[in-house]
Amino acid sequence: MAKLILVPTPVGNMEDITLRALRILQECDIILAEDTRKSKTLLLHYNITTPLLSYHQYNEHQQLNKFIQLILDYNQVALITDAGTPGISDPGFLLVRACIQNHIEVETLPGATAFVPALVNSGLPCDRFYFYGFLPHKKGRKSTIEQLCELSETFVLYESPFRLVKTLEQFSLVIPDRMLCVCRELTKIHEENFRGTFTQALQHFQSKEVKGEIVIIVQGKNQYNKTKEEE
């Protein structure tokens, strides 16, 4: 029976992959990968020789029917992205939906995703939270930031190192004193977790070269107001 298996891969440290994930990647007929060059590094590290085929945001719309047929032909296909869980701010959703529509079984393995360790490690409330992912680059960016600042609960953003300072600047105009945690290079040797206000974070990251993917955890409005009342 044809099946698509979504397999989380490490966000940094190569050891952060499950035994089950390694077995699936070894046993499946073919692996769809967001960037085959990056995925080869992981597969070589674990001596996995399963064939790779490119599946990314630039071809998933145009070639969706081709990928569905490929799954039907190959029977058991794994989907991986460069890091983390497919579908979480990465390609995957369209293929999953198409598989369901075509009565192809979908199985998702538990495993690495960047925002969970960042959220728990932030020190901000994580019993309820809002995950947004990447902000719009242009259209709707300002209004999105304003809406996020009104959220009662902790919220989570992804950001690239090239836009981090710009993002901190834009939030600082609205909520300069709100607490946040900027997590960089998660699980790697040079992991950094900066905790402070937006004003402090902006000063910190303006003075250095920023590298690595970023997760930003922001204090919710209710928690901020409660802290102010207790002061």
Mean pLDDT (whole number) for 46-71: 92
CATH of region 3-108, choose from 3.40.50.150, 3.40.50.2300, 3.40.50.300, 3.40.1010.10 = 3.40.1010.10
The per-residue pLDDT for 62 is 86
The per-residue pLDDT for 104 is 97
- Homologous superfamily (CATH) of 115-230 is Tetrapyrrole methylase, C-terminal domain (3.30.950.10)
Mean pLDDT (whole number) for 54-59: 87
The per-residue pLDDT for 230 is 76
Closest-CA residue to 122 (of 157, 92, 95, 94): 157
Q: What SS3 string covers 82-133?
A: CCECCCCCCCCHHHHHHHHHCCCEEEECCCCCCHHHHHHHCCCCCCCEEEEE
Mean pLDDT (whole number) for 84-105: 96
Which single residue is written with the structure tokens 């919220």?
155
Q: How confident is the model at residue 108 (pLDDT cuts 50, 70, 90)?
A: very high
The per-residue pLDDT for 227 is 81
Render pLDDT for 59-93 as a digit per residue (tens, 0 to 9).
Answer: 888 899 999 999 999 989 999 999 999 999 999 99
- pTM recorded for the entire structure: 0.93
Across the chain, mean pLDDT equals 95
Q: Residue 140, exposed/middle/buried by CB under 10 A (0-12, 13-18, 19+)?
A: exposed
Note whether 187 and 174 are within 8 A (CB).
Answer: no
Range list for CATH 3.40.1010.10 in the chain:
3-108
Range list for CATH 3.30.950.10 in the chain:
115-230
The per-residue pLDDT for 226 is 82
Distant-in-sequence, close-in-space partners of 147: CB < 8 Å, separation ≥ 6: none
Dihedral angle at the C-alpha atoms of 83, 84, 90, 94, nearest 10 degrees? 120
Q: Counting runs of H as helices and runs of E as strands, what totals does the chain give?
A: 9, 10
Pairing of strands 214-218, 154-159: antiparallel
Distant-in-sequence, close-in-space partners of 6: CB < 8 Å, separation ≥ 6: 78, 79, 85, 86, 87, 92, 96, 106, 107, 108, 109
Provide the b/e sequence for 73-89 (b: ≥16 CB within 10 Å): eeebbbbbbbbbbbbbb
Mean pLDDT (whole number) for 7-24: 97
CA-to-CA distance for 45 and 37, rounded, in angstroms?
13
Note whether 214 and 168 are within 8 A (CB).
Answer: no
